Structure 1
Amino acid sequence: YYTVAGDELIENACLLPGETGPDLDNFDVEDIPVRLLDAFTVYEWDTLRLVPISDLLDLGPGDAGVRYGASGLVKPWTDDGADDDGDEDDTSPVAIKLSPVVELNVHDFSPSTGSLDVKMYLKTEFAWYILDAPSKLYKSYFSGFWLKHQVLHLLVTSALADPTITLAKFLQSPEVKGDASAISQVLKRTLSKDDILSEDMKAYIQDVLLDLSLDGLKLAKVPIIYQLFKVDIYSKALVKPSLSTVVTPEVHALSMVLFSQHFKVVRPFTQALLRPQKCPLNMVEIHGAFPIIKWIGSPTLSSIYDAVKIGDTVYKPGEVVIVLPGEDPDKIRQKNAQALSSQSLNYLAEYWFIRICYLFEREGEQFLHGQWLAHGSKTLLQEAAHSNGLFLMNSCDDVPLASIIQKCNLHWLAFNEMEPLEDASNRFYCSGLIWDEDLGAFLDSIQVSSESSPTGPYQTCAICDSQAVKRKSETPILNLGSIFYLGTLYHKLDFIYVLNEQDEDASYKIGQILSFTQDNTSNTVQVQIRQLKHYDKFAKHGNFFNLVNWMKDEHHLYYTSNIETILAEHIAGKCYVQHLSAIGNLEAWLHQKNHFYVQDNFNRPLPEGGDNLQTLDSSVHCYCEECYKEHIKTLERKDILYEQNKPLQVLELFSGAGGLSIGLEESGFVETRWAIEYAPSAAKTFQSNKKRAKVYNQDCNLLLEHAIQFYNGNDLPSLKSLDAGKPLPPLPKPGAVDLICGGKYCSDLVLIPRKRVCRSPVNSLVCNMLSYVEFYRPKFFLLENVVGLLNHKLRVNKAGPHEGNVVANGVVKYILRTLTSLGYQVRFNVLQAGVYGSAQNRRRVIFWGARRGLPLPEFPIPTHNFDSKLWAAQLDTGLKINHVVRDPDRPHRGAPLRAVTVDDVISDLPKFDWINPHWIIKVTRADKAEVKRRAAIGIPAFEAVSNHGVWDQSEEDSFPGYPDGVPYASPPRTRYQARARQGIAEDADVELHYTARFSEGVIERVCNVAIEPGADWKSLPEELAIEGKTRETSTQRDVRYSRIDGSKHFRTAMTTVAPNSHGSTGFPDSWKFLSVSERPSTIVRDQLRQIGNAVPVPLSRALGNALGDALIKMWEAEAEAVRESGSPEV
C-alpha cells in the first residue's frame, strides 16, 4: 500500500513554475500541460493499494469502476527539440498527488512522420504526465509491462529502419544485446529468444501491432514479424479495409460533423424521405416583463379556459410556447444544460419549451399546464444535435402564463419528411419523438400526430393520466377474491414468481396462490402460497436411485409441503405450470416464456436431507382455469398472427460465423436472407451452415456503392467474392429488407485505449452501416458491439461553438442523431449474455431502432440469475445506463431460473489431459502413477507441445484431443446440452473437441496448476513462477492459468484456445466452423477467432424474442385497422 507523504501537494489547475498558459486565441479544452513524472507510484484511489501499471489500460471515459491515482516528483516537460536558447532546465521537481487518472496512453504512432513514441503518458483532468522512472516501492509493479513495452518499441523501430530484419539479426542488434541497453540493465542480462517467444510477450506484441495496423503501420512482410506470427497477426482482418467509407447523402451530412475520414457519397435516385419546404418565419410577439394577460371565453367549473391573450397574441391548447427558464429540480439535467457541450448555435435553445395542454386559474394566478419539450442540445445528443430540433418529454408542469416569452414557430414532421436544414432562428421542428431521459431513448409519441390543435376546447394531460394509473397499480388492490398489482390480475391457484426476502438478487421462488388476506392494521395485502422447487435441487441431494435417464431441466418443478405467507408487493410476476401428462408437445410448451411443468409431489423429508417425492396424479394438479384459458387464447391468437405473416427478411452486416443470426432465427420471427462478411473464413462458415442465405464475401462499402448504382439503373459488372473470385448476385432492392442487423468488431474499442479520438477508417464503418439503413429503410434496425463503443470519442469538424472540441460518447451520440434524423426511434443499453442463459460472462452494447409508427422492441427481460457484478456507466450528460430488470422501479437481479454453469454446457464431453513435458521440473514416480490413474478412469493424455511457438512448415498436423471427432461421454444431461444437440443424430460424434498447441513452458505450467476450481498461476511451484509476477503484486483480475469452476460460468471468450469452445457461446453442436486455409495452425485459429468474436447465441435468441413481441404488437395493430376498415382479413 502507498502512504501519502506529508509534503505532497494535491494536483489542481494551477501551473507549475516554468509553465506557460495556453494560447487564448486558439484555446482548446484539450490544451493541458505536459509534465514529467519521476519516482512515481500508481495505486487504487480509494484504498491506496498498489496496482500494476497494466491495470490502467482498461480505463475509459465515464468508467464507473475502480479509480486510480498516482504520486511522484513532477516538473514541466521540455521537448529536446524545442528552441530554449540553450538554457539548462534547473526547475526543481515538486512532490504531487495527482487527481484521478483518466487515461494511460502508450505506443502513439504518427502516420505523418512514420515514428512510434516510446514514452508512456498518464492523463488527469489537469495535465499529461510522461512516466520517467518508478519509485523503489513500485518497481516490481512496473517492470513486467515496461519490458513488453520496450521490446515492442524496439521491434517496430527496427522493422521500420530495416524492412529485411530477421529475429536472429534483431537479437544481435546493439539496442538489444548491448550491455548499456535499457533492457539489459533492467534484466541484468541480454534479451533472449525465449523472452520474445513467451506467450505474454507474443500476445502483447500481436494486439498492439494489430491496433497500429489500423493507423497505417504495416509490417506483415518484415521477416521478423512473419517469423513470429506468419499470417496470423493480420488474419483478424485478412484483407485491408476500404480507403473510403461509402455513405448516403443524409448520413454523410451528419458524419462530416463528427468524423474526419474521407467519405465517398453515393446518391440513390429514389429518396425515401422528403425535405420539408422551409416554413415561413412567422413574426411573433416577444413579451417583456409584466405583460397584460386576458382570458378568452368563460371558465369551466374547474377554472379552465379555452384561450388566453397575452399582449396582442392569442394562445390556445396544443400550441408550443417558449418560456423563461427556471430552477430545474433535476440537478444533473440542469448541470448538463449548462455544460459547454450542450450549447447551440440557436440562442433560443437556452430557453424552455412547453406544449400547452390546458389553461387555468388557481387562487387568482394564471397558469398553463403543459408537456415539456427539450431542445436537442439538452438531450444526450448535446453538440451533435440539430439547432432547430425539439423532442417531447415524459414530464409536465404548471407554468405561470407571465413566464411566456413568445410563441414557438413549430413544424411537426410527417412520417415521410426528413429534418429541415439548420438555421439559428425561431423556426423549429419536432418529429413527435419523445426523449425519455430515464432510459436514454427516443421513442414514438401517440400524443402528437399532426400540426392541428386539439379538437376540443382543451384536453387533459396524457402524462398526468399515465402517472396516475402507474401510481394506482403500484399498490396491490384486493377485490372479490383477487388482487390487481403492477398491471396484472392474480387469482387463487395462480402460479407466481416471488422475490426472495433475504436476498432480492437471488433466484425467484415459485409458488401457487392459496388465499388472500387484507391486513387492515398495516394496510397490506398478504398472500398465502404453496412453494414449488426445481427438480434438479431434489436430484442434487443424491436421489439418483431412479434417475438413470435424468436430465437437468430448469423448467421441471415439484410441489413441496412449504406453506408461507408473503406480502403482495413481493410478487414478481405470473408463470404457468402444467402437469407433464397434459402437455402434448413439451418443447413447444417450454418455448413460451414463463412455462414450467410438474409431475411429482412432496411425500416426506429424508433424514439425510432433501425430499422424498411421489408421482403426482394429474387430477390433483389444480390451477386457475380462467387465467389459464385466457393465456392459451392469447398464445393461440399469436400463433394465428404468426401464421398470417411471414418472418422479417434480414440483411446482416459483418455477420461473422453467425452467432447473431442463429439466435434471431431461433425465435422464429426472422429469416436471414443476405449476409455480408469481409473475412473469407467466417463467410465460408456462414454459407456452409446457412444454405438458403446469400453470403457476400466482400467489402461492405463496395457492396453498398454497387447496389445503389445498380438500382439507379447503371450497367455494372458483378462484384466478385474475395475468397473464390466468383461473381456475386446483386444485393436486394430497396423495400425487400425488413431488418438490418450486425456489429463490426473494432479493435480500437477493445484494445489499448491510447488514442483520444476515433481516427481509423474501420471505426467509420458505423457510418456505412447507417447508410444501409438510409438506402433500404428497413422496419427495424439492430446494432451490437463491444461495450467500449459507449466511451469512444469523436471530434467536431464543423464551424460553430464546438469546432475542434472532443465529443465524449461521440459514437453513441452519432448513432442516436443519425437514426432519429432518418425517422427512427432508438434505444440502447448494455446486456449481459449470462442473464439470458449463456454460461459466459459477456457484455454487449445493443441499439434497437424502429421506424416511426412501429413498435420499438424492448430489451429482453432477464431469465437467469447470473452471478456477476451489476453494471452501470455514467455518460457525459450524467445519464446513468442501468442494467435491464423486470421492474425498473424495483431494481434487483432476481430472475426465474438459475444461471447456466460450465458443467451444464460441457459435462457430456469426454475428458482428456495434456502430457506434461517436464521441461523444467523432472518427472517423478508419483507423476507417472497419477497419469496411469487418470488413464484408468478414462482420462487419456495427449501431446500438446508446439515447435517452440514458431509456426513453420514442420508444424504438427493434428491437435491435442480428438480432432477427428469422438462419441459423447453421455446422453444430454441438461436442457442446454439437449438444445445444442438438436439437428444431429443420436450416435453422432462431438466435433471440435481439441486444443491448440503451446510451448513447453505453457504446457508445464498448466499441468502443474492445482486441479481445483479457481486455482491459477499463484499455485505454481517456484520453479515455474512467471517472471516479474509474485503473489504480493498480483491482482484479482490477474487470473492467468486459471482453472474454471464447473459450478460457475466461463469468463469472456477470447480468440484463444478452448476445446469445444463454441458450446460456451451457445452455437449448436451441428455448426461447422471452416477456414479457407489448409494449414492446421491457421485453421484452428480461424475457428477460435470466429467463436470468440461471435455474439452468444442465448443473447441473440433473447433479442429475437423481444423483436417477436414487437412484431405481435405490430400485427395486432394491422389486424385491428383491417377490422375497423371493414375489409376482410387476409
Structure 2
Amino acid sequence: MAPRPTAFEVSFPGEAARARIHDSSERGGHKRLAETGVGSLREDKRLRQERDIAAPRHYNPPADLVPESTDLILEGEDDEDDETPKPVRLLLDFVIFDTRHDSVTCRLDASEAGRKFEATGLALAAFVNEQDEDEVDGEGMRIRISDVRTWTIDYTKPGDPLYIETPHAFYILESPAHIYRATWDTFIRRHRISQLVLSSALSEPRQDPGDFLYYFTTTWDDISEQYFTESDLRSSTPAIKDAISRCKARDGKRLLGTTVICWLFADPSQNQVTYDPTQRQSESRLSGNPDLAVLQPRNQNPTHVTPLIASLAANLFRERLIVVGPPPPRKDRAELQQEKEAEKDKRDRLFYLLSRVRQQRRVVRLQKVRASRQVRMDQPVLRVDDVEYSIGDVLIIPISDDAGSTNPPPDFPDGPDKVPPDARITDYFWFAVLVHLHPDREKMHVRWLHHSSKTILGEISDTRECFLTDICDDVPLQMVQGKVNIRYIPTTPREKDLGVHEYFYKFTYKAGDGSFHTITPSDLPIPPHSRNPFNDCAGCRAEQLPQEHMEWTKINCGIHYIGADFHVHDYVLLRNEGEDEESRGEKGGKTRPAHVGLITQIVLPPPARMRRGQQPAIEVKMLGRIGDIADKAPPDLGMIKDERHLYVTDEYRNFPLSYLLGRCLVEHKRRIPDFDLWIASSPKHFFVQYAAPRLAVQSWADVRQLRQAEVDACPPCYDAEMRRMKELSDFLGDMEEKPLRVLDPFAGVGAFGMGLEESGVVRMTYAIEISPSAAKTLRRNSSHTTVYNQCSNKVLQWAVKRHAGIHVDRLHSIGDSQPLPNPPMPGEIDMIVAGFPCQPHSRLNMFQRADDRKSNLILNLLSWVDFLRPRFCYFENVRGFLSFNLMTYQHSRYTVKGGIEMGGLKFLVRVLLAMNYQVRFTLLQAGHYGSPQTRVRFFLVAASNDQHLPSFPQPTHDFPPPDNLDIKTPNGDVLHWLRMTRGTAPHPAVTVQDAISDLLRFDWRHPTLDGEPPNVRRQLAERARTIPQFNVDLLSQHAGPELRGSNVKYECGPKTGYQLWCRGGARQGEERAVKDLQHFTRVLKPATVQRVVKIPLRPRADYRSLPRNLQEWLADNPYSANARQGFKPGLYGRIDGESFFSTTVTNMEPTAKQRWVLHPDCKRTVTVRELARSQGFPDWFMFYALQDSVKTMHRQIGNAVPWPVSMALGRELRDSLFQHWKDQKNETALNEDD
C-alpha cells in the first residue's frame, strides 16, 4: 500500500516529486541519454548539411556605413550616462567577418590564430527600462565595427542574449543578415541549447529528468522551425560541457550536482569539467547600479503563476511557467477519448444544421400570444418542422445581414467536405432567446446572445460561454434552425457540469465599449415574475434610451432633458463652440471649456413649430472664469487662476436646448461650510466672490465684490445636492474606519495607489517594488504602506506556500537585505492596482522577441488576483499594450509575425471573466484630468460580480491636442467610452506655466563665458542680477539651489489652483510639509551645458538655432538618424509655457525623444520638481535614489501614473461605492418597513 501523502505532497505535488528524484534515479528509474537509441543517421545527415550551408563566404561591406567611434551616439542614448562605462546596443541584420582572411564570414568561435573580427549591422539603443524603449521611435543606424574583441553569453539565465564587446560599446546580437544566417545558426544553436539546459537545471536543481525532457522537446526552435528533439539534446552534450566550463566556478559546481546534468552526463568520464579562467563569462554590464540590474533580463526570475492562470495560459505563452501550488491535472486517456467523441458529436450537429439552412421550414403556431396576456414559460407556442418552442427557449438562427451581425455573413458550405476542420456552430449561427411571437406577423421578437468568440475575446475565449446583449430584433419565423440549451449560471461552471452541446452565460456584453457586466434580474431575457416578457424586454428599453435621453418634456417650472430636470435658477454647463476666442485672444483659443450660466428663462416654441421639431431655447446669465482676468487684479488681492473660481456677470445669452450639457453648482465662497468637501465632491462645483458687467473685463475697476444674497439658486436642486453632500460626508466617515485595502505588485514609487487614496475610500496597505530606490521612495512617502523590495514572483511564491501551511524561508529586501514582513493573505486585500510591466510595443515592435519574458509578468499579476480575489482591480499600461499579440512566431530571428492580434488584451479580459469579474477598459488622456502634459495610457477596471462596476471618468479639462481615443478591434468594431467633443469639459486645460511658474527661476552658468563676445557677456551679466546662476559641476550630483528644510522657498506665491494644490496637496484633513523641494537638474557635460544656454529664450526654439560649431554629431552629421528624418525639430527644444509638456518619460535629456526639456524662460533643462509637477506629484513628495542619481529620479517620475489621473479614477470608484452604500441603506430601510 502506498504511503499516505503529506500536506506538502498534496499541495505541491510537482515539487514533492522533484525532491524524490535522487532515489528514483539511483534505482534506474530513468534511461541514460546515451542509451535511448535515437537514430544517429538522421543526426549525422543534419550535421553534414549544416557544414555545407555554413561554408565561409566572401563579404563586401557597403561603403556608406557609419564607422563606430567614441563620438557615435544613437537616438535614445544618453551620452551623459555615468551608470555604465560603455553603452549597450542592439545589432540587427549583422555580419561577422574576418578582414585578415579576404573578409570571409566566420563564426565567433573560430579559433585560428591571426584572425581580426569586424562586424556590420543596424545598431539601435538598447534599454533596460521598458518605459524608455516604448517612448523612442529610432530607426537605427547602419554601422561598421572595426574591432570585435570578445563575446559573452550567460548560460544560467534563460533567453539572455549573446553580447560582443568593442572598444566603444557592448552589442546584443539579435538577428543575422541573410548572407550570414546559416553561419550564425550553426554557431548560436548549440549555445541556445546549452543555455536552455543549464538555466533549467539551476532553476530546478531536483528536477525530474523526464519532466525536463518533456519541457525540452516541447520548446520551439526558431532556427530549425520545429520543436527540439532528444537527438538535439544528445548531440549537444559536448557544447553543454563546454558551457559549464565557461560558467563561474560557483555556478559550475551547482550545475554538476543537479539531477538533469547528472542524468545527462551519466558516464562518469563525461562529468569531468575543466574550468578555463580565460573563458569565464563577464559580469553584468550594469552590475554597479542595483536599480538597473534588477530590470535586466538575465536577473529576472521565472514567471510564477497559480494553477488556474497556468491552465488558462497554456499554449499562449512560450515561457516555462513556475506553477505555485498543485499543477492543473493532466487528462487521462478516457477523458481524452471523451473529448474526441464530444468533438465528433459537435461536428455532426454542425453538419446537420448546415444541411437545413437552404431548406424551407414548416411553421405552425400552437397558440396565440398577446402582449396583455400572461405567458406560461413551459407551454409551446411554435412548432418548426418537428421541434416545438416555448417562450424563453434559445434559438439557433443563421448569421445574416439582418441577424444582429455587424460583419458580413459567412459563406454557408454546401457539403461536409467544404466545412473547415476547426469550424464550430458559432461560426455560422447566432443564438437568440425567444421573447414573443407577434400575433399579426410572421415574425418573432428575440434577444440576442453573443458567443464569446464574437466579442472582443475572439480566439481567446471559453468555447462554452455566451454573453447576454442588450440587442433585440424581430426575426422571421422561417429563420429558426433549432434550439440549444444555454443556462444562466452566475459563476463559471466546471467543464463536467455542462453537457456536450450546452453553453452558459453569466454576464452582459456591451458591444459599444467592449465591457462586461453582472446581469440583474431585470436584465434577463425573461425577467422573474414577468407577466409578459415582451413588455419587459430590456433590449427594447436599451434601444429607446438614447432617443428618450435626447427628447425633452415640460415639467413644473422647467424642462426634462438628457435624463435630468432643469429649472429656472439652475446653474448649467453649455457647449462652447469657440465664439469668444477672438475676443479672448490666442490664449483663450487654445483651451475651450464649457460655458457656465444661470438659467433665467426657458423659451418653449409655439405648438406648430414644436410639431415640426423645433427645440426650446434657454436664456442664461453668463458666468466668467476668474482665471481669464486674474492678471488684471491688484497684487495685494493675491488672485490666482483657480479653475473653480467664477465671477457673475450681467451678460445674458440665448442657447439652443441642444447646447445643454448638465447641471453644475455655484455658491458664494463664504456660504460654503466645508470648502474642501465642496471641491472634492464634484468637478462641477464652483464658487464665486466677484461680479462684473460683462464677460470681457477690460480693467479690474469694472469688478466688484459680490454679496452672498446676490447668488441665486434653484432651492429644490440646491437642497438635493446639499443632502447628497451630507450623505457623502457620512459615507466617507464610514470608509475612513474601513477603507479598501490595496496591494500594488509593481508599485514603482506608488503614485497610482497614493493618487487613488485621495478619494478617501482606499488605503495602500501593501506594495511590491523590485527597484531599491523606488521602494525607498515609496516607503518614505507612504509610511502606512508595507513595502516589499523584492520580485513579485518570489513574493507570490512565498505567499501561496505560507497560506498552504508550507514552511518557506523568509525573503529579504534587495536593497538592504533586511527580512521582509509576512505577505498579504486572502481576505486581507480588497483591491489590486498595478501599472504592470510589459514588453515595449511601439518603437521596437519590429524587433521584439517572441519569448520576451517581460511580457509574461501579466501572468504574475493575474495570479495575485486569483490568489487574493480582491473586490476591485485597476490596471494601467502603455497604449501599445493594445498591439501586444500572443503566440507570434520568430519570422526572421528578429521580427515576429502572426499570432493572436490584441492577444494581450484578450487574455487579460478572458482571465478576469473566468474569475467572475466584471470588466471595462479604455484609453485615457492625462490632459483631460488636469495634468499639464499629453499622455495617453490604457486602463482597465474590474469588479467582482457582487459589486458595482466603476465607470471611467469623463474629461474634466478641455485639452486641445486631438485624439479620439478609440480602440479598434480585429473584427472591425470601434470601442469608445469617453465624450471627446471639444468645448464640453467643465475646466480649462492646465498649461506648463500653470504648473511651474511659481518655482524658483535660475539659469545654468555658461561654462566658457570668456569665449563669448562682449555684448553676450554683458547680456548674461545683466540677466544674472535678477535670475541667479548656478555652476554645473561634474563632481556634483545635481545643479541648482538647495531648497531644504527652512530654506524651502519659491519664486512667488501660487499663481494657479494647480500650484496651490501641489504646494499643499494632501487628503482632506491632512497636512504634509515640504522638506526638500528637489528643484535641481541633472549635471551634464560642459559642451551640452553650452548648447543649452545658447538656445534662444523663445517658445519651441531648438538646436537649429545653434551655430554650426556647437552642433553635435547626432544633430548635424549627415549619417545620423536625425539627418535621415529631415532634421526634425526638438533636439535641445524649449518648452512653450502656454502649451503642454510632451509625454513625461524616463529619459529627459536634450537629445532624447522627449527632446522638449528646456525650461520655458530659463537657460537650463527642467528640474526634478518641475518634471514631478508635470505628473501631478505634490511638492511634499520626495524622490530617493542610490547615490542621489537625478537620472534615477527621472525614471521614477516618468514611470508613474499621473497623480491627477489616479485622483479622477478614485473619484469614480468613490461614487460607485457611495451608490452601493446608499442602495444597501435603502434596502435595509425597506426590509425594516416590511
Q: Cα–Cα, structure 1 residues 785 and 344, in superposed 2: closer, same or farther, change >3 Å?
A: farther
Assess if the C-alpha contact under 8 Å between 2:1037 and 2:1083 holds in 1: no
One-letter identity of the residue aligned with 1:976: Y
1:420 match: 495
1:786-817 deviation digits (Å, cap 9, x = unpaired): 111111111179xxxxx995111110111111
Aligned pair partner of 1:589 in 655, 678, 681 = 678
Secondary structure of 1:411's aligned partner? strand
One-letter identity of the residue aligned with 2:807: D
1:361 maps to 2:444: no
Alpha-carbon distance in structure 2 between the residues aligned to 1:695 and 1:455: 52
Assess if the C-alpha contact under 8 Å between 2:577 and 2:983 holds in 1: no
1:246 maps to 2:301: no
Alpha-carbon distance in structure 1 between the residues aligned to 2:848 and 2:498: 31
1:295 maps to 2:295: no
Structure whose alpha-carbon radius of gyration is higher: 2
1:92 match: none
Alpha-carbon distance in structure 2 between the residues aligned to 1:299 and 1:499: 48
Give runs of aligned pairs for residues 319-718 of structure 1, distance below 5 A: 319-328=393-402, 333-334=407-408, 346-363=424-441, 365=442, 367-415=443-491, 417-418=492-493, 420=495, 425-431=500-506, 433-447=507-521, 454-456=528-530, 458-460=532-534, 461-502=537-578, 506-520=592-606, 521=609, 523-540=614-631, 543-545=632-634, 547-593=636-682, 594-603=684-693, 612-645=702-735, 646-718=738-810
Secondary structure of 2:554's aligned partner? strand
Shift of 1:40: 16
Give runs of aligned pairs for residues 44-193 of structure 1, distance below 5 A: 148-150=141-143, 159-160=151-152, 169-170=167-168
One-letter identity of the residue aligned with 1:792: F
Shift of 1:648: 0.9
Q: Cα–Cα, structure 1 residues 371 and 998, in superposed 2: closer, same or farther, change >3 Å?
A: same
Secondary structure of 1:1117's aligned partner? helix
Q: Which runs of 5+ in 1 are unaligned?
A: 1-37, 42-53, 58-76, 82-114, 123-143, 174-214, 272-276, 798-802, 947-954
Aligned pair partner of 2:858 in 747, 763, 766 = 766
1:864 match: 957
Assess if the C-alpha contact under 8 Å between 1:656 and 1:1094 holds in 2: yes
Q: Give the TM-score taking structure 1 as reference length.
A: 0.75
Assess if the C-alpha contact under 8 Å between 2:1072 and 2:1180 holds in 1: no
Q: Cα–Cα, structure 1 residues 327 and 469, in superposed 2: closer, same or farther, change >3 Å?
A: closer
Alpha-carbon distance in structure 2 between the residues aligned to 1:515 and 1:343: 68
1:892-921 deviation digits (Å, cap 9, x = unpaired): 4631111111112211111111122239x9
Alpha-carbon distance in structure 1 between the residues aligned to 2:63 and 2:978: 41
1:376-428 deviation digits (Å, cap 9, x = unpaired): 1111211111222211122111112221111112222233x445379995221
Assess if the C-alpha contact under 8 Å between 2:1037 and 2:1082 holds in 1: no
Alpha-carbon distance in structure 1 between the residues aligned to 2:1179 and 2:76: 39
One-letter identity of the residue aligned with 1:562: E
2:1141 match: 1050
Alpha-carbon distance in structure 2 between the residues aligned to 1:56 and 1:1056: 8
Secondary structure of 1:749's aligned partner? coil
Alpha-carbon distance in structure 1 between the residues aligned to 2:460 and 2:140: 42
Matched residue count: 931
Q: Cα–Cα, structure 1 residues 832 and 758, in superposed 2: closer, same or farther, change >3 Å?
A: farther
One-letter identity of the residue aligned with 1:354: A
One-letter identity of the residue aligned with 2:972: G
Q: Cα–Cα, structure 1 residues 343 and 149, in superposed 2: closer, same or farther, change >3 Å?
A: farther
Assess if the C-alpha contact under 8 Å between 2:549 and 2:563 holds in 1: yes
Q: Cα–Cα, structure 1 residues 1020 and 1107, in superposed 2: closer, same or farther, change >3 Å?
A: same
Assess if the C-alpha contact under 8 Å between 2:369 and 2:437 holds in 1: no
Shift of 1:547: 4.2
One-letter identity of the residue aligned with 2:446: G
Assess if the C-alpha contact under 8 Å between 2:837 and 2:857 holds in 1: no
Shift of 1:236: 7.0
Identity of aligned residues (%): 26
2:268 match: none
1:827 match: 920
One-letter identity of the residue aligned with 1:648: L
Q: Cα–Cα, structure 1 residues 235 and 702, in superposed 2: closer, same or farther, change >3 Å?
A: closer
1:1096 match: 1202
2:1077 match: 991
Secondary structure of 2:846's aligned partner? coil
Assess if the C-alpha contact under 8 Å between 2:752 and 2:834 holds in 1: yes
Give runs of aligned pairs for residues 17-56 of structure 1, distance below 5 A: none
1:90 match: none
Aligned pair partner of 2:1018 in 916, 922, 929 = 929
Alpha-carbon distance in structure 1 between the residues aligned to 2:659 and 2:1015: 57
1:181 match: none
One-letter identity of the residue aligned with 2:1039: F
Secondary structure of 1:962's aligned partner? coil
1:192 match: none
Shift of 1:455: 3.9
Q: Give the TM-score taking structure 2 as reference length.
A: 0.69
Q: Cα–Cα, structure 1 residues 858 and 605, in superposed 2: closer, same or farther, change >3 Å?
A: closer
Secondary structure of 2:1018's aligned partner? helix
Range with greater deviation from structure 2 (762-771 or 314-323): 314-323
Assess if the C-alpha contact under 8 Å between 2:1073 and 2:1180 holds in 1: no
Shift of 1:596: 0.6
Give runs of aligned pairs for residues 869-908 of structure 1, distance below 5 A: 869-870=962-963, 871-882=965-976, 884-885=978-979, 891-892=981-982, 894-908=984-998
2:906 match: 813
Alpha-carbon distance in structure 1 between the residues aligned to 2:811 and 2:905: 33
Shift of 1:607: 9.2
1:552-594 deviation digits (Å, cap 9, x = unpaired): 2111111122111001110111110001121123222111211
1:195 match: none
Aligned pair partner of 1:942 in 1022, 1030, 1038 = 1030
1:1064 maps to 2:1174: yes
1:1015 maps to 2:1101: yes
Secondary structure of 2:309's aligned partner? helix
Shift of 1:996: 0.9
Assess if the C-alpha contact under 8 Å between 2:624 and 2:647 holds in 1: yes
Q: Cα–Cα, structure 1 residues 1032 and 676, in superposed 2: closer, same or farther, change >3 Å?
A: closer
Q: Cα–Cα, structure 1 residues 472 and 145, in superposed 2: closer, same or farther, change >3 Å?
A: closer
1:730 maps to 2:822: yes
Range with greater deviation from structure 2 (1004-1013 or 487-496): 1004-1013
Assess if the C-alpha contact under 8 Å between 1:861 and 1:885 holds in 2: yes
Q: Cα–Cα, structure 1 residues 989 and 712, in superposed 2: closer, same or farther, change >3 Å?
A: closer
One-letter identity of the residue aligned with 1:1120: N
1:978 maps to 2:1060: yes
Alpha-carbon distance in structure 1 between the residues aligned to 2:1200 and 2:907: 25
Alpha-carbon distance in structure 1 between the residues aligned to 2:1029 and 2:412: 66
RMSD of the alignment, in Å? 4.5
Aligned pair partner of 1:959 in 1039, 1061, 1068 = 1039
One-letter identity of the residue aligned with 1:731: P
Shift of 1:624: 0.5
Alpha-carbon distance in structure 2 between the residues aligned to 1:78 and 1:231: 29
1:70 match: none
Assess if the C-alpha contact under 8 Å between 2:153 and 2:281 holds in 1: no
Alpha-carbon distance in structure 2 between the residues aligned to 1:756 and 1:337: 37
Q: Cα–Cα, structure 1 residues 326 and 610, in superposed 2: closer, same or farther, change >3 Å?
A: farther
Shift of 1:641: 3.0
Secondary structure of 1:327's aligned partner? coil
Give runs of aligned pairs for residues 715-794 of structure 1, distance below 5 A: 715-749=807-841, 751-755=843-847, 758-794=850-886
Shift of 1:257: 3.1
Q: Cα–Cα, structure 1 residues 805 and 927, in superposed 2: closer, same or farther, change >3 Å?
A: closer
1:197 match: none
1:1126 maps to 2:1232: yes
2:1162 match: none
